Amino acid sequence: MKKIIGVYRNQNMHWVGDGFPVKNLFSYDRLGQAISPFLLLDYAAPYHFSPTTQQHGVGSHPHRGFETVTLAYKGEVTHKDSAGGGGTIKTGDVQWMTAGAGLVHEEFHSPEFAKSGGLFEMVQLWVNLPAADKMTAPKYQAIAAQDIPVIELEDDAGYIRVIAGRYIADHAEQVGPATTHSPVNVWDGELKAEHVHHLHVPVDHTVLVVVLAGEMQLNGAQHVQDSSIVMFAKDGEAEIQLEALQDSKFLVLTGQPLNEPIQGYGPFVMNSKDEIIQAFNDFNSGKFGEIPVTA
């Protein structure tokens, strides 16, 4: 089995805008190349919002050089961007936004969710773009829950969804609907208490298991609580054992490391300081465009 090289837990919550109460579970400014091609993951654990007529979320802000992936577990988010992308993701849906050369976007609770209120639970993942693709045209993928393949585990133990990449089990392969710029797997799922499941992952990938909720034991020895990430060695092994001590919700992220310099500042992630300065100049001169105003 793959060797575990680190377990990190964060229970401290902070607000992103006024609509996203999140725990940052990993970030490139702390872990750098060890998590490449992934950059950051924020988990908005279940949080109850009261009904309101006000708009809650994050207003217009820019990005360049990477992709944001938003997984909606509870609640709804409406997105709009300067490249013409937009839509509302609901429970079970995924939004995959390629910022590429640069765009401006906003994310708010949908009017319907704001009006009714209720539990809100989301994950936002940042995936780095290879240097050759950092200035690619922006793109927006709205992935509906019904378009995500679901693998039902034996003995009614739970399930795994294949959002991006390929999942191979029992000689059968499922391919996720998201298109990516480098080899990446994004799987999420649930495992019921007292059940065990074995995962096979690419041997040359960075591998992270994110335990969002519940309590698990990995590889028969490592106890992992909620709001934690587990990092694995690139040791040529391909198997991970998941065991749920309580009903658990998790994410599995694997990706081929980019092995390129990472230079980030705020909403921009590039390969050099000069490119960051250029991103600010381009944004300030209006090259990222504007979000269309709708009546």
Tens of pLDDT, residues 189-217? 999 999 999 999 999 999 999 999 999 99
Mean pLDDT of 129-145: 97
Domain that residue 225 falls in: 4-255
CATH of residue 188's domain is 2.60.120.10
- CB within 8 Å of 270: residues ≥ 6 apart: 64, 65, 134, 263, 264, 276, 279
- CB within 8 Å of 49: residues ≥ 6 apart: 56, 75, 109, 113, 114, 117, 118, 120
Percent of the chain with pLDDT over 70: 99
pLDDT band at 292 (very low <50, low <70, confident <90, very high): confident
Q: How many CB atoms lie within 10 A of CB 170?
A: 7
Compute the mean pLDDT over every residue in the chain, rounded to the nearest whole number: 96
pLDDT band at 294 (very low <50, low <70, confident <90, very high): low
Residue 114 scores a pLDDT above 60:
yes
Residue 241 CB-density burial (10 A; 0-12 exposed, 13-18 middle, 19+ buried): middle
Q: How many CB atoms lie within 10 A of CB 50?
A: 7
Domain assignment present for 234: yes
Number of alpha carbons in the 13 Å side-chain half-sphere of residue 121: 11
Domain assignment present for 285: no
Report the SS3 class of residue 156: helix
Residue 103 scores a pLDDT above 80:
yes
Residue 108 scores a pLDDT above 70:
yes
pLDDT of residue 170: 75
Domain assignment present for 17: yes
The domain total for the chain is: 1
pLDDT band at 93 (very low <50, low <70, confident <90, very high): very high
Report the SS3 class of residue 87: strand
What's the CA gap between 28 and 48, in Å, rounded? 29
Report the SS3 class of residue 248: strand
> Does an H or E element contain 28, and which?
helix 28-31
Q: Are strands 215-218 and 184-191 parallel, antiparallel or unpaired?
A: unpaired
* pTM: predicted TM-score of the whole model, two decimal places: 0.97
Residue 172 scores a pLDDT above 90:
no
Q: Across-strand partners of 124?
A: 42, 70
pLDDT band at 290 (very low <50, low <70, confident <90, very high): very high
- Binding residues, as ranges, are 61, 63, 105, 107
Reported as a single tens digit per residue, the pLDDT across 49-90 is: 999 999 999 999 999 999 999 999 999 999 999 999 999 999
What's the CA gap between 209 and 271, in Å, rounded? 26
Please give the single-letter amino acid code of residue 240: I
Residues for the chain: how many in total?
A: 295
Domain assignment present for 136: yes
What's the CA gap between 243 and 53, in Å, rounded? 43
- CB within 8 Å of 77: residues ≥ 6 apart: 57, 70, 88, 89, 95, 107, 108, 109, 110, 122
- CB within 8 Å of 84: residues ≥ 6 apart: 140, 292
pLDDT band at 44 (very low <50, low <70, confident <90, very high): very high
- Binding residues for Fe cation, as ranges, are 61, 63, 105, 107
Domain assignment present for 208: yes
Domain assignment present for 294: no
Domain assignment present for 132: yes
Report cis status (omega within 30 of 0) of the bond before 292: no
- By the 8 A CB rule, do 193 and 246 touch? yes
Domain assignment present for 11: yes
